[in-house]
Amino acid sequence: MRFINIRNNITSGLELTWFSLIDELKTIFSDSGAMLILFFAVFSYPLVYSIAYKNNVVRDIPVSIVDLDKTSVSRQLTRMLGATKEISVNHEVGSLQEAKQLFWDGDSKGIILIPEGFEKNLSKGFQTSVGVYCDASYFLIYKETLSGTIQAAGTLSAGVEIKRLLASGSSEEQAKQQRDPMPAKFYSLYNPAGSYGSSIMPGMILIILQQTLLIGIGMIGGAGKERRNSQEIKPGVRVRQGMFSVVFGKGLAYFLIYIPNIAFTLVYLSKWFGFPDKGSFTDVCILLVPYLFSVIFLGLMISMLFRRREHSIMALVFFSPIVLFLSGLSWPKTAIPHLLSLIAQIFPSTTMVPAYLRVRTMGVPISAVKPELLFLLCQMIVYFLIASAVYKISVIRQAKKGMERKGDLESVESGNG
């Protein structure tokens, strides 16, 4: 008898899960606003951002050269500056004031000043300098302009030093060794091009997936509150007895919807724009499953807080830049205050983004991110239990209100009788 009861309970739970899954899918596909967020936004936002960062790095920045020395060495430096991949010499002017005017007019993004006596000081072995004025409000332009100038000036300086050593009687090999006795070799790991897009977009896509899921689920929850049913699935008695099945069925509906979204954003889009992909696809999927379910159950949990669908949009869009900041993509996590770091753990993306980047970009095995994976699994379970409890409380309250309204109605009818 006990075995039969267990089997009946399992059968009843599976039926309720299936019913909740189908009911939630119907609700989603009948809500044009939720469809816009869960499909169009997920496809369009990563695509637009990826196109914006398609060039990956800033190249051929237009600059003005102010050559006050007008010697063969200064002209050589000008040619070397124009030969770098970072800088494009668009204007050669005779005064700093003229170069400033070109900058204010938007015809150049920086100014490089070669001072008077540049060649003379170099020939005498005196230290000289090259002035670099660039737009520091746009850090990519500032960084690349400065990098190109340092590269050209360093190469010229090395050539002058080697010529001086050759003149003193050293061989070419000795001169090179004396000029640079301990040469440094730099290897860019995981992002050879040093591109901003390849650095930020993989993590950004995960945050977009999270925020669109939370907003979409919040809109469905708010719409249910507007209809005063709080997404209650009939019959109410079965819902009370099988709330785990109801919440899991709802979560499974959003998980199935996001499978094509994942395929587009993390597979097709990544290959299209050449984002780093060194990790095992199986390891990536192992991380994605608890991540998606954690986000979904978090969304189901907080969706009960919104009385109107617009409230979810306003609240969750407000938190989106905060989530991005706390994820460590735009600011090092080590520089974030400890209290904010703890609060940020509420969002699954805070744990998922660094783990995903290590697996996908660095190619580490899943065992290397075991703490993050266990945390996501625990987060998924905790949010599932809380969402189930919140839904059950909501349904019980509605049942009580329904009984009260029914009692009031019967009282009115008996009074009229």
- How confident is the model at residue 398, as a pLDDT? 67
Write down the residue that tokens 């945390």 correspond to. 375
Do both 47 and 66 map to the same domain?
Answer: no
Bridge partners of 65, per DSSP, are 92, 112
List alpha helices for 94-195, DSSP H.
96-104, 118-124, 139-167, 172-179
Cα–Cα distance, 148 to 290 (Å, whole number):
45
297 touches 250 (CB < 8 A): no
Q: Which amino acid is at 243?
A: M
Write down the residue that tokens 């050669």 correspond to. 92
Do both 43 and 98 map to the same domain?
Answer: no
Q: Is residue 26 part of a domain?
A: yes
Cα–Cα distance, 409 to 416 (Å, whole number):
11
Q: Is residue 243 part of a domain?
A: yes
Tens digit of pLDDT at every position of the chain (417 positions): 555 555 556 677 777 888 888 888 888 888 888 888 888 888 888 888 888 777 667 788 899 999 888 888 888 888 888 888 888 888 888 888 888 888 898 888 889 998 888 888 877 777 788 888 887 777 778 888 888 888 888 878 777 666 766 666 666 666 666 666 666 777 777 776 667 777 888 888 999 999 999 988 888 877 766 565 444 444 444 555 577 888 888 999 999 999 999 989 888 888 888 888 888 888 989 999 999 999 999 999 888 777 777 777 777 777 788 888 888 887 777 788 888 888 888 999 999 998 998 998 888 889 899 999 999 999 999 999 999 888 888 777 766 665 555 555 454 444 444
Do both 99 and 153 map to the same domain?
Answer: yes
48 touches 276 (CB < 8 A): no
- How confident is the model at residue 409, as a pLDDT? 44
- How confident is the model at residue 378, as a pLDDT? 95
Q: Residue 92: which H helix or E strand, with range? A: strand 87-93
- How confident is the model at residue 381, as a pLDDT? 94
- How confident is the model at residue 181, as a pLDDT? 64
User: Dihedral of CA 68/71/73/77: which sign?
Assistant: positive
Inter-CA distances, 413 with 399, 408, 416, Å: 21, 9, 5
Burial of 207 from C-beta contacts in 10 A (0-12 / 13-18 / 19+): buried
- How confident is the model at residue 193, as a pLDDT? 66
Domain count for the chain, please give it. 2
Do both 363 and 226 map to the same domain?
Answer: yes
Q: Is residue 267 part of a domain?
A: yes
Q: Is residue 185 part of a domain?
A: no
- How confident is the model at residue 76, as a pLDDT? 87
Do both 242 and 387 map to the same domain?
Answer: yes
Cα–Cα distance, 239 to 407 (Å, whole number):
22
End-to-end CA distance of the chain: 50
CATH of the domain at 116: 3.40.1710.10
Cα–Cα distance, 157 to 169 (Å, whole number):
19
Do both 204 and 315 map to the same domain?
Answer: yes
Q: Is residue 363 part of a domain?
A: yes
- Omega of the bond prior to 235 within 30 degrees of 0, cis? yes
Q: Is residue 190 part of a domain?
A: no
Q: Is residue 186 part of a domain?
A: no
- In eight-state DSSP terms, residue 60 is S
- In eight-state DSSP terms, residue 306 is -
* Structural domain containing residue 23: 2-53+195-412
Do both 315 and 227 map to the same domain?
Answer: yes
- In eight-state DSSP terms, residue 95 is -
Q: Is residue 68 part of a domain?
A: yes
